[in-house]
Chains A and B, each alone.
Chain A
Amino acid sequence: MHTAILIPLTFAGAMLLEISRLPAGSLGWLAWCRPEWLCMVTFYWGFQSARGLNPVVLWCFGLFVDVLLGQPLGLNGAILALIAYVVGLNCERLRMYSMPQQVAILLMILLLAETLRSWILNLAGHSGWSFETYVASFITVLLWPVFEALVKKWHLPRSLG
């Protein structure tokens, strides 16, 4: 599938998954395990897309995410644009990396992104922080190999052949 179609499709899917409803009550802890779909998609396209991601478009997209998640305007845009920028700078290297190396880099980026998010949310007056915040980062890296293989199948079908 053409990248110009696949990129918006994966971002739209990630946004829907970010806000989809999870079970409440006794399964309420599942909310901590929600993968960071948007960061994962940004990471993938940051180094796999030939042209990279446009930080300005990503930042504008982040504004919609901010509203959907009820977070301060500009927060998610900054995080996504920063991930795209950092990954874009190292895209050649990341393409050559093995899966464990990619997982390690992704985990580092996600943990830094979550820390940045928590700092800003606390500065903005949103109370509540705990180590559970980082659970989502670990779940995300566990899903990364499957996600990468699936998107690659659509993105670069010949590479699997």
Chain B
Amino acid sequence: MGALVLLSVVLIVLDTATRWVVPIRSALVTVVAPVQYAVEFPYLLTSTLQFSLTDRNTLVALNEAQAEEILRLSHSVQQLASLKAENDSMRALLDSKARLPDEVTITEIVGIVPDPNRKEVIIDKGRIDDVSVGQAVLHDQGLFGQVIEVGQLSSRVMLIVDQDHAVPVRVVRSGVRSIAGGSGSVDELFLEHVPKFADIKVGDVVVTSGLGGRFPQGYPVGEVATVDSDQRSGFATIRVAPAARLSEARHLLIVRPSEEPSDLPAAVGSEGSLQ
């Protein structure tokens, strides 16, 4: 018994302080992937059945709404194309390298980590789909989280609201940079160590700054919900409502950064990693 406890202590220390047991963990993740699928099967079956049993009128309405959405989006894409061309030519004038678009892979949530202290999900893409630790994960409206563990067939994603997560961000309107730390609650993040005189207002859009090199820059993280300036402290308490619908998500996008290095400053410390 003593030997088992000692072995556990050694394994826990190695797992938390080093990367030596990552291969063992990855192998175990691959072995338990079918268990995750088995547990999620009833939910997947229910949603599939719900879709199959949807009546015609609902489907027609859904189709029309999606057609309108496509029209609206294609309008934005047309604008985007001209803006991109303009941006590229300006970058050429500044002798700055053009930024390459990121590649994305569509994935589906197949499990939720049951610990209420953790905000993590399991997705159905793994090493065979070129997923690797640290890749950013997006939902339709904004940043969702990052990959923290990869198995052969599935991976674990930590949500941006997990209390162990932090992402370097920038306020679009004023350009103020900060770190958005998770609160442990699914509907809020906090901007950390922001001076109370910083130019941040309720409603400001917060996007990834790209500093740290882990998250690609410019993806929406959320919107400033409240700004509280404590007179006794030098810092403001700024609450951000996540842009992505974290609790409703089912399909996600894994962002694979382009091969070419961007023209951003090199990685700064450990920003963008786990706290």
Contact = CB atoms under 8 A, between A and B. Distances in A.
Interface of A: 15-16, 18-22, 24-25, 28, 31-32, 34, 55-56, 59, 63-64, 66-75, 77-78, 81-82, 85, 120, 123-129, 132
B31 A73 contact: no
Query: Closest 8 A-B residue pairs measured CB to CB?
Result: A74-B11, A78-B8, A74-B8, A31-B116, A128-B117, A124-B16, A67-B28, A72-B12
A31 B192 CA distance: 28
Contact of A64 (B12, B15, B28, B149): B28
A72 B28 CA distance: 12
A19 B184 contact: no
A68 B40 contact: no
Contacts of A15: 35
A19 B114 contact: yes
B114 A31 contact: yes
> Which of B28, B111, B115 has the most C-beta atoms of chain A within 10 angstroms of its own C-beta?
B115
A63 B7 CA distance: 12
16 contacts: A15-B35, A21-B111, A21-B114, A55-B1, A59-B4, A59-B8, A69-B113, A72-B15, A73-B15, A74-B8, A74-B12, A78-B4, A78-B9, A82-B1, A128-B117, A128-B184
Q: Is the interface of B mostly helix, strand, loop or mixed?
A: helix
Contacts of A66: 28
B62 interface: no
Interface in B1-48: 1, 4-5, 7-12, 14-16, 21, 24-25, 28-29, 31-32, 35-36, 38-40, 43
Contacts of A126: 117-118, 164
A73 B115 contact: no
Interface string B174-209: 000000000010100000000000000000000000
Contact of B111 (A19, A77, A120): A19
Classify chain B's interface size.
35 or more
Given A19-B36, A55-B4, A64-B32, A72 B16 contact: yes
B8 A77 contact: yes
Given A19-B111, A68-B32, A128 B163 contact: yes
B112 A21 contact: yes
B247 interface: yes
Nearest to A17: B39
Given A32-B116, A74-B12, A74-B15, A64 B40 contact: no
Nearest to B21: A73
B4 A16 contact: no
Contacts of B15: 72-74, 124
A85 B8 contact: no
Contacts of B14: 73
Nearest to B246: A24
A93 B4 CA distance: 25
Contacts of B43: 21
B61 to A, nearest CB: 25
B120 interface: yes
Nearest to B2: A85
Contact of A20 (B25, B114, B275): B114
B114 A18 contact: yes
B156 interface: yes
Contacts of B10: 74
